[in-house]
Structure 1
Amino acid sequence: MTAWREAGSLVTHKALGELSYEGLLRPEPDGDPDDRGHRPWRLELSSGAVYRFHARRGAFESWSVRPGSATRDGHPADDPRALVVDARAELGLTGLRLADVLSELTATVANEAARLDRAPNAAELVLLDYDSADGHLTGHPRIVLNKGRVGFSAADRDRYAPESGRDFALPWLAVHRDHASFRSVEGLSARQLLTEELGEELLERFRAKVPDPDDYVLVPVHPWQLDEVIGVLYAGEIATGAVVPVGESTDRYRPHQTVRTLANATDPVRRDVKTAVSVRNTLVYRGLASAATLAAPQVTTWLRAVHDADPLLRDDYRFDLLGEVASVSVRHPLFGAVDELPYRFHETLGALWREPVRTRLAPGERALSFAALPYRGPDGQSVIAHLIGTSGLSTDEWTGRVLDLLLTPLLHWLLEHGVGFCPHGQNLILVTDDHGVPLRVAIKDFAQGVDLLDEHLPAYDLLGAEASADMLRWPAHLLAQSLFSSVFAGQLRFLAEVLLDDLDHPRARLWARVREVVGRYRDAHPASAARFDACGLFAADVERVCLNREHLAGEGFDKVDRDDEFDVRSGRVPNPLAGPDPGGAW
């Protein structure tokens, strides 16, 4: 099978599962389950096409479709675009939106095919450094069109996509202070930051390109953004000297899955850089919102203060915060003054500097994205199965450690301090020893990635005014979706299926471990019991967040405020934290 067909098959099977999970497709039983719980299903669409596949139902009424089992009218189903066309009535797609979805889906398959062309086995992936491994991952586990990157050409994909494995230099601009603002954590000046990131010689060379360097702010820019956006929207500012290209970095940078976050591939001590890249990937354009960008160092300062004063976070779990220590945001003199423009026109130029996980590792430690755990290489072995096998621990011991290291700190942040992170797999990092034994967890992405409760908590008194004004506040049951949507339904339901397939580890046992960790936290912290109940962590059912419904509708791409409402939800599903499933699915 070619990489293109293999990628198409992977995306098709994922689409059948995730679109059925969100209630957009409604397959009917077509036989009895096999000894692994996979049952034949039949999906007859209004177009007349008939799909058949084998799938196992899991937690949150999810679907785990057996790879290679799907057929379309009796032939292997390996083109997700055919599925979308066949199901366009069920998906509510017509005209231009249908064309856009098909285009984005084609790009997703192309990027997956590029990944498969150089895919390592699990044993090889875990030996790669964190930044190199990131380029081999499959992307968002729930969103079907997860690598569309609308705006990238085929040449851009080859240059800048993480799947390409290429490094590149970063152009730098000097922007007049009338339009640019700089923020940093206490004790880190702009001069110190730039010296550490560029070196004294290159910094002086850049400063010499403008008449009065103290009147300008230096900012790195993604090369795609410079060509496609800055060179067009800032043409007047470049012509008048308000924006001055000053040169390129001598260091090379490697993109993460987010495309806009770049790791320094030349000097591992230097920070990761998050840049504005106005491509649309998954649900949003990947620019940098000004208020959130400028507030990020203050958010980092606050999170550190809370963390350092809390023995559970600081000592017991060593839950690591990869801080965003400095930022620059540029306000376009014309577009920035027109409030009713879509948000992407206000997020075109800026940068964040983040502490890299590679500088936080002791000798004998490794870092791996949680998004890598379900990764399966060409030999069929998953990363999580490989780590368990080399750790010397039983599956139950290993998963118990990871769940405790992950869930207890996140519960504590939410219930004790009123903080909801965005803890999807890409933002969570598992630190292990050389043998794969779990040691601790780190988290990143604080700008627009940390929300608060809509009540007052003592920790909020330490929050700076700029950060407080930018951070969103939600009722407890919605902020708890930071766990339900991002962790329980966004990661653990997938890992439960992988562990059953690879290691015969019962899904019910994994979810029993989850309930043990969550219940133990509740018992140990009676003062937060009311907030625990308000979050609905043990409620009988929970709202189902439907990211594909939101994505396919395509109604939020041109919003003025991209965060003006919570994620799309549709229906309620049984909560696996409330108790075990009689059938053993959780």
Structure 2
Amino acid sequence: MSPPVAGSRLRETPEARVLRFLEEERPELAGAFREALGGARRAVMRRLLESALREDLCGLHSRLRLDGELASVSLPAERLVFGVKTVRAFRRFEVGEVWLVAGEAARPAGSATELISALREAGEASLAWDGLERELSNAAANLALARAYAGQVGERLRERAAGLGAGDSLELAALEELPAGLFFERLGAEGHNLHPSAKTKLGMEPRAVLRHSPELDGEAPLRFVAVHRDRLRSASVSGEGFEEVLGARLPGVRERAAAELAEAGLRAEDYALVPVHPWQYERVLPEVYAGEVARQEVVPVRGVCVPARATASFRTVVPEGARLAVKVAVSSQMTSTVRSISPQTALNAPEITRILREIMAREPDLARTFVPVSELAGVHFAGDTGEKRRSLSAVLREGVDSHLEPGDLPVAGCALYAESPVTGKTVLAELVEAHACATGSASLQEAAVSFVGEYAGIAVPGFLTLMSVYGVGLEGHLQNCVPVFRQGRPAKLLFRDWGGARIHAGRLERSGIEANLAPGSLTLADSVGEMRRKVLYTVFQNHLGEVVLQASKGFGVPERELWREVRRACEEVFQILASRPGSAPNTLSDRRVLYAPEIPHKALTRMRLDPGKGDIYVSVPNPLCKAGQQEKRGGS
């Protein structure tokens, strides 16, 4: 039974604010939100504990005592006791109930706040425990809201599926009248698969969370501001101005804005349009750019609005009727980062597109199954502070549908572990079942192994080739990837969003390609190791690790069998690359690191507790190493 959530206990908490908003404006969700709160609190607490164990935070893993399915750790004031369902690859625990034991008294822990209270006694006092607690309280409230909404929308989708004769979410998505892939972009009620702060949206009021979040069927109608051309910096693949690229894909917007400027007595030719997220337009621009608005350097365009829908990344929206995605600044912290857009990200977007297009032109075989979704143009405000430069910025990207053929089903990677509203299974489980039908597999277990092998076959070659040959470490986590399926079989992988990529200039230049990136770009890696870590974490742990986990969990296949399929895909790539003139040294060193007994894991919770240190990595056991040892001992 969930603990009570009414009264003074909720006063001034994120949960209280959400509940008050729902009772006043969306009463049909209030009851479901109350029911979801206890489970959401515990889910966030378990994610925190699982992350702390992976990272050995406060020595939790080093001091862990495991007795069957029960684990305990002695802390300064009490003992932490919890159930362990299993421990998967990369030291990924799945924990059950959690208790705090002092002497003979034991009490169940029901929230991240209670767990943090125990952990901070064992950790460094200087760490940002209060900040982490604030983030996770916000995350729990938003997770409860997402679960409450998912329960209600799930009923509607099941009714719709029955009416259309759709047996699962794959069939329903194919029949829905939504832009390509958007159905799956909006299934992620649980958020990031590894981050404890998966649902955090600091600074954003409940009304905006409900209005704009993809998992809440959010809409984000694009607003626009006219910015004096002297105060803008932009770049594009075509060499045109940002506004020209925008206008070609959103017809009529420039003309309507020009008419409004003329009515205000302003010369339209002195200004260029920048798209803005509606929340940013309403809540951030009036405060951050008050002086610029007063001087008419920044002019909000009141009469132009383009209907658009949120995608999995929240700040990237898809305008209605356009084969375009628009990434816009949102000054709210989501997971670890305030989701504004740096000047370097905006200006580098078309340059990285140019680099990737040149690489793909050299790799025609690869280009058939590994497809960059090009970023066409970027723009940012040329302000005198970092906040002003980051808060009014945007990137224009191709729409996913630009790369689809009839019969293709694009599935946002972060939807693979989402629950299907039609069957209650994961989307990945539905794909494996479709794969079994398409291939005539003797069993679902056999289909799961085959599916993982084929999936690795469309993902691994691109990521490894770009890393080893060209020094490009793509941020290939699930949200940035859109696998495309035909009858449940992986056909190709679309990858998007260059903001988190890391490029080693030495490797790239030795391939004969130069990178002309903006000064101060984090994209330029200081070392091969930094570039390589980006791939090892995002591709093999966040992305393929989740695919393997879900296939293993859903169909009872031992993870080691599935990691052998991933390693086979890697070996095929390494053998091809090692035979290329000049590629052997990079290939051998990358192979050695990829198959090492331990692999670097991005310590997401440590980074929240010590935000001034930037990226922090710890070592975790590497299943690809064991997969190779098993093959040597027992063949396949």
Which TM bucket (shorter chain)?
0.7 to 0.9
Q: Are the counterparts in 2 of residues 172 and 221 from structure 1 also a CA contact under 8 Å? A: yes
Task: Indicate the residue corresponding to 2:29 in structure 1.
Answer: none
Give the deviation of 1:383 after TM superposition: 1.6
Structure 1 residue matching 2:326: 3-state secondary structure:
strand
Distance 1:396 1:255 in 2: 34
Is the counterpart of residue 580 in structure 1 residue 633 in structure 2?
A: no
Task: Indicate the residue corresponding to 2:122 in structure 1.
Answer: 90
Q: 1:216 aligns with which of 254, 262, 271?
A: 271
Q: Which moved more, 1:251-260 or 1:401-410?
A: 251-260
Is the counterpart of residue 60 in structure 1 residue 90 in structure 2?
A: yes
Give the deviation of 1:46 after TM superposition: 2.7
Counterparts of 1:135-174 in structure 2, within 5 Å, are 135-137=186-188, 138-174=190-226
Give the deviation of 1:228 after TM superposition: 2.8
Give the deviation of 1:17 after TM superposition: 1.5
Give the deviation of 1:70 after TM superposition: 3.8
Q: Which amino acid aligns with 2:245?
A: L
Task: Indicate the residue corresponding to 2:375 in structure 1.
Answer: 324
Task: Indicate the residue corresponding to 2:506 in structure 1.
Answer: 455
Task: Indicate the residue corresponding to 1:338 in structure 2.
Answer: none
Distance 1:431 1:91 in 2: 44
Distance 1:103 1:231 in 2: 26
Q: Are the counterparts in 2 of residues 431 and 439 from structure 1 also a CA contact under 8 Å? A: yes
Q: Are the counterparts in 1 of residues 502 and 530 from structure 2 also a CA contact under 8 Å? A: no
Counterparts of 1:388-537 in structure 2, within 5 Å, are 388-391=432-435, 392=437, 393=439, 394-433=447-486, 435-446=487-498, 448-458=499-509, 461-463=512-514, 465-466=516-517, 470=521, 471-526=523-578, 527=580, 528-535=583-590, 536-537=593-594
Q: Are the counterparts in 2 of residues 115 and 136 from structure 1 also a CA contact under 8 Å? A: no
Distance 2:627 2:601 in 1: 19
Give the deviation of 1:385 after TM superposition: 1.3
Q: 2:70 aligns with which of 40, 55, 67?
A: 40
TM-score normalized by structure 2? 0.80
Q: Are the counterparts in 2 of residues 477 and 534 from structure 1 also a CA contact under 8 Å? A: no
Deviations 1:196-220 (A, max 9, x none): 34322x4212012332222111101
Structure 2 residue matching 1:578: 3-state secondary structure:
helix
What is the aligned-residue identity percentage? 25
Structure number with higher helix proportion: 2
TM-score normalized by structure 1? 0.87
Q: Which amino acid aligns with 1:543?
A: P
Q: Which amino acid aligns with 1:8?
A: R
Q: Are the counterparts in 1 of residues 200 and 334 from structure 2 also a CA contact under 8 Å? A: yes
Q: Are the counterparts in 1 of residues 484 and 493 from structure 2 also a CA contact under 8 Å? A: yes
Q: Are the counterparts in 1 of residues 456 and 544 from structure 2 also a CA contact under 8 Å? A: no
Distance 2:77 2:624 in 1: 39
Give the deviation of 1:510 after TM superposition: 0.9
Is the counterpart of residue 569 in structure 1 residue 617 in structure 2?
A: yes
Q: Which moved more, 1:121-130 or 1:22-31?
A: 121-130
* Number of corresponding residues: 551
Task: Indicate the residue corresponding to 2:311 in structure 1.
Answer: 256
Distance 1:127 1:44 in 2: 50
In structure 1, stretches of 5+ residues that fail to align are 33-38, 336-342, 557-564
Q: Are the counterparts in 2 of residues 172 and 245 from structure 1 also a CA contact under 8 Å? A: yes
Distance 1:428 1:197 in 2: 23
Is the counterpart of residue 103 in structure 1 residue 134 in structure 2?
A: yes
Distance 2:527 2:411 in 1: 32
Counterparts of 1:174-323 in structure 2, within 5 Å, are 174-186=226-238, 190=242, 192-200=244-252, 202-210=253-261, 211-264=266-319, 266-267=320-321, 269-315=322-368, 317=369, 319-323=370-374
Distance 1:126 1:112 in 2: 27
Q: Are the counterparts in 1 of residues 203 and 332 from structure 2 also a CA contact under 8 Å? A: yes
Q: Are the counterparts in 1 of residues 332 and 338 from structure 2 also a CA contact under 8 Å? A: yes
Change (3 A) 1:363 1:187: farther
Is the counterpart of residue 28 in structure 1 residue 64 in structure 2?
A: yes
Distance 2:43 2:171 in 1: 22
Q: Are the counterparts in 2 of residues 476 and 531 from structure 1 also a CA contact under 8 Å? A: no
Q: Which amino acid aligns with 1:284?
A: T
Give the deviation of 1:248 after TM superposition: 4.9
Task: Indicate the residue corresponding to 1:384 in structure 2.
Answer: 428
Distance 1:514 1:399 in 2: 7
Q: Are the counterparts in 2 of residues 168 and 253 from structure 1 also a CA contact under 8 Å? A: yes
Task: Indicate the residue corresponding to 1:339 in structure 2.
Answer: none
Distance 2:525 2:620 in 1: 25
Distance 1:323 1:193 in 2: 13
Distance 1:14 1:123 in 2: 29
Deviations 1:270-304 (A, max 9, x none): 31111111112222221111122112112212211
Q: Are the counterparts in 2 of residues 126 and 368 from structure 1 also a CA contact under 8 Å? A: no
Q: 1:364 aligns with which of 373, 389, 407?
A: 407
Distance 1:235 1:542 in 2: 48
Structure 1 residue matching 2:203: 3-state secondary structure:
coil
Give the deviation of 1:450 after TM superposition: 2.5
Distance 2:371 2:138 in 1: 35
Change (3 A) 1:53 1:93: farther
User: What do you get for the CA RMSD once the two structures are aligned?
Assistant: 2.8
Change (3 A) 1:116 1:377: farther
Q: Are the counterparts in 2 of residues 3 and 117 from structure 1 also a CA contact under 8 Å? A: yes
Task: Indicate the residue corresponding to 1:346 in structure 2.
Answer: 389
Q: Are the counterparts in 1 of residues 469 and 507 from structure 2 also a CA contact under 8 Å? A: no
Deviations 1:169-223 (A, max 9, x none): 22211100111123221275556433334322x4212012332222111101122
Distance 2:461 2:629 in 1: 27
Task: Indicate the residue corresponding to 2:41 in structure 1.
Answer: 8
Is the counterpart of residue 548 in structure 1 residue 578 in structure 2?
A: no
Q: Which amino acid aligns with 1:351?
A: A
Give the deviation of 1:71 after TM superposition: 4.3
Q: Which moved more, 1:190-199 or 1:354-363?
A: 190-199
Segments ≥4 residues shifted beyond 6 Å: 581-584
Q: Are the counterparts in 2 of residues 454 and 476 from structure 1 also a CA contact under 8 Å? A: no
In structure 2, stretches of 5+ residues that fail to align are 3-34, 159-166, 174-179, 440-446, 632-636
Structure 2 residue matching 1:579: 3-state secondary structure:
helix
Q: Which amino acid aligns with 2:376?
A: V
Change (3 A) 1:583 1:309: closer
Distance 1:168 1:249 in 2: 14
Distance 2:571 2:170 in 1: 34
Q: Which amino acid aligns with 2:330?
A: V
